[in-house]
Structure 1
Amino acid sequence: MRVVVPVNRLPQPWDETRGLEAQEVQARRARHGLNDVRGQPPRSVLQTLREAGGDPMLWFLVGTSVLYFALGERVDGAVMLLAIAPLLGMDVFLHHRTQASTEGLRSRLAARALVLRDGREEDVPAEEVVPGDLARVEAGSQFPADGLIVRGRGLQAEESSLTGESLPVRKQPLERLPPGAEPAVDAVHWGLAGTRLLTGTAWVRIVLTGPETLYGSIVRSARRERRARTPLQHAVAHLVAVLLAVAAALCAVLALVRWRQGFGWLDALLSAATLGVAALPEEFPVALTFFLGAGVYRLARRQALVRQAVSVENIGRVTCICSDKTGTLTEGLLRVARLLPSPGTPPEALLRTAVLASREEGRDPLDVALLEAGARDLPSLPGPAREATFPFTEERQRETSVVRQGPGALLAAVKGAPERVLDLCALAPEARREWELRVEALAQEGNKVIACASRTLDAAHWHGGEPERGFDFVGLVACEDPVRAGVAEAVRECRDAGLRTVMVTGDHPRTALAVARRLGLGGGHPQVLTGDALEARLADTGTVPPVDVVARAVPAQKYALVKALRKEGEVVAATGDGVNDVPALQAADVGIAMGERGTRSAREASSIVLLNDDFGTLVRAIAEGRQLFSNLQRCFLYLLLIHIPLVGTAALLPLWGQPLLYLPIHIVWLELIIHPTAMLAFQAGARPGRLTPVRMRPAARFFSGGQWALLTVVGGLMACGLVWAYARSLAEGQDIARARAVAVASLTLASASFAAVLTRLRTRTARWVCALTLGLSVLLLQVPALASLVGLHPLHVRDWARVAVAVAVALVPLLLARPRDEGDGRSSRAPRRTGRPQMAPGPP
């Protein structure tokens, strides 16, 4: 990676050792502002509430609540008001989360900085650092801003949270600035805000501050990325709008017709009000909120903490996962993987040499891995009496320790780059070539390979210098960042279900390829592109090429990949645990952070946090999300199937001049059955087994054409059967109260039957709800005292027979076209994906 240097920000000469004068600092601060990544003040609570109040679904619930209160239905009105709280809360939380994400990003920046001003060193708040400042950064401290390293030796920086690179990055002073007004300088010469210096002392000439730093660009991406309403929200809003318009038109027509038929204005208003209560589609937004809340609880039980309820829907529609490697697919820590000792050398001797050449101070990840292996496999190794240490430098590429072996004897142990260590040893050309081939083979497997050597010294003749020759080659040590347990199985399950998985990492392509093969990405033959190559392809063609691994990727490239995938119609889940993942987490349909190792910034920017950092938990969360689709679709099918005959008969019979079929109390009773059934009976959880694909569905449609046809046929048959049973009862001379009882019995039996077919009675709750519906309805209708309370008369056997026939006829097409359960784990294996994904799940 190369970063452009605006030369006009640097003092001349740029590499001089003096700092800025006080007047220069003030002028530069006035020109460039504070070194603050936020760039703008946080949004107030009032502004957040004002924007959230623009949601039309919110005002629909308010209007429905007012209508219920006007009709005297205070309980239903209160329920509508309570339903506003979670909808409003989700919008408010979305704005709050963006602000919290920014604060989380700022928490990784340096709080103070040591700068040279007016000829002396000053300790100032990091926000007061300006372009042109000369800052001193000690080992263990963070860089206060982006700047060029002008002095320092043996510098290593930890940049994993910013660039994704899992290993320490070597840094070098820039000796000469390239010509031009804005030359590009390689990243090895840069100290970046939000990263930490591990070894050495660096003098940095500050170039970019605040929002202009690489860290600041991440914050800007996190702030400007706004999530649109999900397809399910759009679909529900559209469905509610259509049903509301139909209900309003029916109410107006019914009121007018009843008044023109001579029934009087009171009857006309009562008819319209009764129909309005039956036809208002308030169950749909309430059901959506309820089901999302249930999904949040269910995912929490699976160790997935949902920070935004609509993500329960989005995760079920995921077609592509863009995953960070370090700390997500791998453990994010180096481990000793293999020991290859030289002939005649025990593996313990090789490990002992590597441990002796390591240091506990500085906490270099390689030294940590070697020391942990030594503590585990060499418990009897005494603490060496260290006489001298010659630390690793970029020029020498090795580290040497001289320790006391015994009276008058010293041992020099060296570890480092294999080619440098081999130069210290007297090996035959054939033997050296053999070891070089082994190094190459281990490196191709994605390992970090070091070589070790040792030699004895005579304490009496050693004068304190580092030995340069005469070493005996001890062997090779291969370290790796291990793949997390269960990740390979989870990746395979995603592939079998048609989910595309792309690994995005800052590592070398060779290392990334080795990890991808262990994971089984691309079916064991992963396609690898570098971030620069991907960026060029996106700029050239505008489409995402077939790729399984993006290596050497910077945050902007990962962000661009997520945006491009979404543009092509993918529903993208982006996983990560570092600051570098924040833009992609924000841009994705579902941002998923790792809870154990993730930074606060990643967690705040995400919509779901995996509490156990298990990639398999993501697969199970997707299964739950897909089951939510199935549950919610069945719930809405049920609501429409029961409301079509209810609203149809409530409107058509009075229009034909018949007495009102339902009194308000009957509507209340039916709603008391419909609401609990819709909310409780369709709460099946995902069954264990293979993750199943979902069918393609345009985002703007809630039901397919076939499902609308099924709704029309079943609802129409039920309405016709209900009218037939009602008419037959009147034709036999029965009173209107018994005829109304036939209609109520038909709808209650239909409610239980539709719910039983759609849920398959999979859960205990569904069985209880259906049984209670039938039992309580029979009691209400057949017990004379109870029936008289609601203006009904008990039914005869032939009345129940007509009710059963009417419901049975309506059930036939529903039984023949029973929806496939996408969560039962019985679907066939998904087709292999080639190029652009074949599955694009939409709303149910």
Structure 2
Amino acid sequence: MNWHTQKIQEITQQLKTNPEKGLPENEALSRLKQYGLNQLEQKAGKSLLRMFAEQLNNALIYVLFAAVIVTVMLQEYIDAVIIFVVIAVNAVLGVYQEKKAGKALESLQQLTFPKSTVKRDGKITEIDASELVPGDLVMLQAGQLITADLRLTESKSLQVEESALTGESVPVDKDASEMVNGSEMPIGDRINMAFMNTTVTHGRGEGVVVATGMQTEIGKIANLIGDHLQNKTPLELKMAQLGRLLSWAAGGICVFIILLSLLQGRDLAEMFLTAVSLAVASIPEGLVAIVAVVLSMGVSRMSKNNAIVKKLPAVETLGSVNMICTDKTGTLTQNKMTVTQVVTSEGAVEIIRGQENKAIETVQLLAKGMVLASDATLDGDQSTGDPTEIALLMLADDLMLDRKQLRKEFQRVSELPFDSIRKMMSVLVKNKEQYFVFTKGALGSLLKISTHFLSEEQPVPMTDEHRDFIKSQADGLSDQALRTLALGYKVSNSEIPAEEMEKDLIFIGLTGMLDPPREEARPSIEKARKAGITTIMITGDHKNTAFAIGAELGIASDRKEVLSGTELDKIPEDKWQEILEKYRIFARVSPEHKVKIVNALKKGGNIVSMTGDGVNDAPSLQAADIGIAMGITGTDVAKGAADIILTDDNFSTIVKAVEQGRNIYSNIKKAVIFLLTCNLGEVVAMIGCLLLGWPAPLLATQLLWINLVTDSLPAIALGMDPDDPEVMKEKPRATNEGFFSHGAAGQIISGGLLIGALTGFAYWFGFYEYGFQPWNDEVPETALQNARTLAFMVLICAQLFYSLAVRSQTRSVFQVGLFTNRRLAGAIVLGVLLQIAVIYIPVMREAFRLKIPDGNGWFMIILLGTVPLIASEILKIIKRLRLRNPSWS
């Protein structure tokens, strides 16, 4: 359909929509059933069969299948069945983990779906963009993501960035009144249209929805839309690299055992199976899957705590953040703006919220101008728009002004939208035969273009005394932590051109708005400080206002820690790096300043997170190591540039996200340490005994069983360990820090050697108990079975119990809590029960060639199985003593 060639009236008639009131709600619901949700079709996910096949697509699995064939040829049918079952169970667990991670990521994608502001039944409301239908009347403003194809019905300085569709990054000027001829006109030239997945960069407008979902232009080329959430994170890639390294090591072990068997004259068929099984057991093949599950489940948990992670690598970076650059309004404060004072030539007038405030004509004129220069709506408890503008509408209500009547009397003719450079917005309205310009914005900007001052309801030339009076009043408001907003106007009997609107204004006065600090902000800032994280406030507010809030929250204690944008410009940029870290508050800064501040802090070796909500915040969000957008007040542009979105716009949520990010990384590290320690223990036990010339302490089927029991549920349970309250007492993690830092490598090696040695000792004791030694030439089968049973049980018990020790580097299992991780407790109990079942169920005992231990045997199993845990507890006691008494080190 060539919507761009048709007139607005033709389109509204065709779509049966009212251009003033929009669609009726019941008609919108009917059309939603007819057209379906406004969503692009998702790429079909992998089938269960394909996922299962991918789990089997592994060189070592192929070798295991070959082992099945060999055992069948040797008529070892039970061994063949066991190996095949282990392969199948491992594949099923892998599919389950992949499916679980995929579902978690899908839920995250749904959380980041945008909203749209529409007019239905004559009321402006916000709905999920997925509920848009053809015929809906959509309101557009700077920063919004356009969520359907629109034929524009109104445009005011409207510019749209259409690179997602056309590849052209320069914003396009849009004109709703322009008629575009030619059905084959390129999309980029259809200036009376706005398209799905493009962004409003300037101005405002309205449009009627002409296409949704796959019928949109972007829907027609939906294959261009990527899914970044399916990409591997650096952490997952690092784990995959580690897995490949271990695979080579396992291959080397396999070759070594076979060569050793040849030299020692062992049964090659049996040792081939053993070597392959050990190679499989020594590789934590579930490592990457566990990392994916822990990451995805972790970020799902973060989303429930109001932090939506859009880009998974942010979780890894969170643990390294040592500077949080945050906005003030709505993040550190409640974003419940209330006008408490109005200043005009007559001085300050107190406004009491919720009461009828009688005011002089000048104050009423200021309130009227603020209403007319606003795009916000307020109807009872329902509101749309910026909280500052909503507060100004409340001011008009408090002054008993009829806002609806006011808008009828003064019809908007044109406007100059707000931008961060001018720090103002202006409207031209008409009342009967007169034209009025109302300009609201930052005090400094208004004073520059005001030539007159409204004194006792009469304009008089602006003098230095007037300017000093206004500035002193503004300073007084700022000292009370009130945010100021000024208003000027002018009148003409003829229409005023856009280029003349913001010239020669009459200054009316300014408002002082209170936005109280969030109660939870101060303790969160203190918590961040103890965690080695510095909080920096970056705001557009006046220095006095910023310092008043910053001092109350504990960000700064001295005015010397506050720097304004003007003062910043006087510092040479090559000096920023060494100077900026001394300041805690940056006031009256522009978006360009924010980018430069972030870059300077990063050059100083800091890992910086940055919050933002506006269109112009996108560059600083992208420049930061972690960009954090506001979910409530944030524009779609800011959300698109960010790594994390706060659904409650709350600073404390940032600190919680850092804490959760640290815990997620810590849990992954626990799982890695546990898996590598256990696998090293198996390798040490096997190779140690073989080098001594002893029979293999474990058979192929036993090794595969151990791998199945310890490499799955306990490792996943460690990855889901409850949050550690001590994690925020640690300093931020260095970005180049690996999994084997801070003694982790020593822990893996010492733990693996100990578990391997204990397994070897248990194996020796099994022979000794029957009066034999492992190196004897003729050992009865019962003695060999007894020895292998003890080695089998000690190895798996030592690994299961050792998982408790991995939960903390310094705190004992009793301090952490034996049952605080119920998943892990369940995995240990299940593992032990499975071991008992293997021994006491005759069929399984015979299949695994085991023997029921006697009393001495059970004593050794319990004693040796708990030694790694006990040894770890002793080391932790020593660590805690050293921490309390550094001189002991």
| 1:651 CA drift (Å) | 2.5
- 1:707 aligned residue: 744
Give distance in 1, aligned partners of 2:56 and 2:879. 32
- Quote the residue 2:359 is aligned against: 350
CA pair 517-378 structure 1, distance change in 2 beyond 3 A: farther
Whether 2:393 is the aligned partner of 1:371: answer yes
Matched-pair contact (CA < 8 Å) for 1:490–1:619 = yes
In structure 2, what is the Cα distance between the partners aligned to 1:725 and 1:124? 76
Alignment deviations for residues 489-528 of structure 1 (CA, whole Å, 9 cap, x no partner): 4333323322122333445555544554454323565432
2:800 to 739, 744, 752: 752
| Aligned residue among 179, 192, 203 for 1:196 | 203
Kindly indicate whether the alpha-carbon contact (under 8 Å) linking 1:725 and 1:802 is maintained by their aligned counterparts in 2.
Answer: yes
Distance 1:689 1:645 in 2: 30
Indicate the residue corresponding to 2:493 in structure 1: none
Tell me whether 1:731 sits opposite 2:734 in the alignment. Answer: no
Partner residue of 1:776 out of 834, 846, 850: 834
The answer (yes or no) to whether the contact 1:306–1:609 under 8 Å persists in 2 is yes
Higher RCO structure (Cα 8 Å, ≥6 apart): 1
What percent identity do the matched residue pairs reach? 24
* 1:214-229 equivalence runs, <5 A: none
Q: Given residue 499 of structure 1, which amino acid in structure 2 is its aligned partner?
A: I
Partner of 1:503: 537
SS at match of 1:521: coil
Give the alignment of 1:6-25 within 5 angstroms.
Answer: none
Q: Which residue pairs with 1:629 in the alignment?
A: 665
The separation in 1 between residues aligned to 2:854 and 2:570, in whole angstroms, is 76
Is 1:590–2:626 an aligned residue pair?
yes
Instruction: Give the distance between the partners of 1:503 and 1:62, measured in 2 at CA.
Output: 52
One of 635, 644, 660 as aligned partner of 1:599: 635
Deviations 1:750-789 (A, max 9, x none): 1232123334322222222222222332332244454223
CA distance in 2, matches of 1:123, 1:756: 61
Residue 250 of structure 1 aligns with which residue?
A: 253
- Summarize the Cα distance change of 1:804–1:84 in structure 2 as closer, same or farther, 3 Å threshold: closer
Q: Select 2:713's aligned residue among 676, 686, 690.
A: 676
Structure 1 distance, partners of 2:285, 2:343, is: 70
Q: Which amino acid aligns with 1:724?
A: F
- Name the aligned partner's letter for residue 252 of structure 2: A
Q: How many residues align?
A: 659
1:595·1:613 contact (CA, 8 Å) conserved in 2? yes
What residue number does 2:598 align with? 562
Aligned residue for 2:496?
none
Change (3 A) 1:727 1:592: same
Q: 1:754 to 1:376 in 2, by over 3 A?
A: farther
Q: Distance in 2 between matches of 1:282 and 1:545?
A: 47
Whether the 8 Å CA contact 2:609–2:625 is kept in 1: the answer is yes
Q: Does 1:448 align with 2:506?
A: no
Give 1:350's aligned amino acid.
A
For residue 801 of structure 1, report the CA deviation from its aligned partner: 1.9
Partner Cα separation in structure 2 for residue 538 and residue 552 of structure 1 = 18
Does the aligned pair in 1 maintain the 2:755–2:799 contact within 8 Å? no
> 1:457-476 CA deviation, whole Å, 9 max, x = no partner?
xxxxxxxxxxxxxx9x9997
Which residue of 2 is the match for residue 810 of structure 1? 868
Amino acid at match of 1:306: V
Structure 2 residue identity aligned to 1:196: G
Aligned to 2:139: none
What TM-score, normalized by structure 2, do the two folds share?
0.61
What amino acid does structure 2 have at the position aligned with 1:737?
Q
- Given that residues 354 and 370 in structure 1 are in contact (C-alpha distance below 8 angstroms), is that contact kept between their aligned partners in structure 2? no
Partner of 1:660: 696
Question: CA distance change for structure 1 residues 193 and 809 in 2, over 3 Å: closer, same or farther?
Answer: closer
Give the Cα separation in 2 of the matches to 1:388 and 1:91.
Answer: 50
Summarize the Cα distance change of 1:485–1:425 in structure 2 as closer, same or farther, 3 Å threshold: farther
What's the secondary structure of 1:317's corresponding residue? coil
Equivalent of 2:687 in 642, 648, 651: 651
Matching residue of 1:686: 723
- The structure-2 alpha-carbon separation of the partners of 1:230 and 1:511, relative to structure 1 and needing over 3 Å to count, comes to farther
User: Amino acid of the residue matched to residue 201 of structure 2?
Assistant: G
User: In structure 2, what residue type is equivalent to 1:801?
Assistant: F
Contact 1:450 1:478 in 2 (8 A): no
Q: Does the aligned pair in 2 maintain the 1:577–1:599 contact within 8 Å?
A: yes
Q: Any unmatched runs of 5+ in structure 1? A: 1-44, 50-57, 116-121, 139-191, 199-222, 404-412, 454-470, 829-844
Q: Does the CA contact (< 8 Å) of 1:65 and 1:78 recur in 2?
A: no
SS at match of 2:806: helix
- Supply the distance in 1 between the matched residues of 2:333 and 2:546 (Cα, whole angstroms): 11
- Amino acid corresponding to residue 755 of structure 1 in structure 2: S
Secondary structure of 1:349's match?
A: coil
- Aligned-residue CA RMSD in angstroms? 5.8
Residues 571-613 of structure 1: per-residue CA shift (max 9 Å, x gap): 3322222222223333433332222222222223323222222
The unaligned stretches of length 5 or more in structure 2 are 1-41, 47-53, 68-83, 115-141, 178-198, 206-225, 352-356, 377-387, 417-421, 432-437, 490-505, 771-781, 808-812, 885-889
Partner residue, 2:855: 797
Q: Secondary structure at the match of 1:574?
A: strand
Q: Does 666-675 or 689-698 show the bigger shift?
A: 689-698
Structure 1 counterpart SS, 2:696: coil
Look up the match of 1:283.
286
Aligned to 1:741: 789
Question: Aligned partners of 1:495 and 1:369: how far apart in 2?
Answer: 33
Q: Per-residue deviation at 1:815? A: 0.8
Q: Deviations over 1:781-832 (max 9, x none)?
A: 244454223211110111122223323443343112349999xxxx99xxxx
Contact 2:63 2:276 in 1 (8 A): no
Aligned residues of 2:283 and 2:679 also touching (Cα < 8 A): no
Counterpart code for 1:316: G
CA contact (8 A) 2:250 2:283 kept: yes
Quote the residue 1:162 is aligned against. Answer: none
Q: Does the 8 Å contact 1:69/1:77 carry over to 2? A: no
Match of 2:299 in 1: 296
3-state secondary structure, aligned to 1:350: coil
The one-letter code matched in structure 2 to 1:580 is N
Name the residue aligned to 2:90: 76
Q: Residues 295 and 125 (structure 1 numbering): CA distance in 2 closer, same or farther, change over 3 Å?
A: closer
Alignment of 1:268-667 (within 5 A): 268-330=271-333, 335-338=338-341, 348-350=357-359, 354-359=363-368, 360-363=371-374, 368-376=390-398, 378=400, 420-422=453-455, 437-444=472-479, 445=481, 447-448=483-484, 477-480=511-514, 483=517, 486-507=520-541, 509=543, 511-523=545-557, 525=559, 526-530=561-565, 533=568, 537-540=572-575, 545-546=580-581, 547-667=583-703
SS at match of 2:453: helix
Conserved 8 A contact 2:159-2:203: no
Matched position secondary structure for 1:581: helix
Q: 1:487 to 1:265 in 2, by over 3 A?
A: same
Report the residue type matching 1:354 in the other structure: V
Contact 1:645 1:718 in 2 (8 A): yes
More off after superposition, 262-271 vs 616-625: 262-271
Distance 1:704 1:439, change over 3 A: closer
Cα distance between partner residues in 2 of 1:425 and 1:327: 38
Question: Which shifted more, 493-502 or 291-300?
Answer: 493-502
Distance in 2 of aligned mates of 1:134 and 1:278: 63
- Matched to 1:250, the amino acid is I
Please tell me the residue identity of whatever aligns with 2:397: A
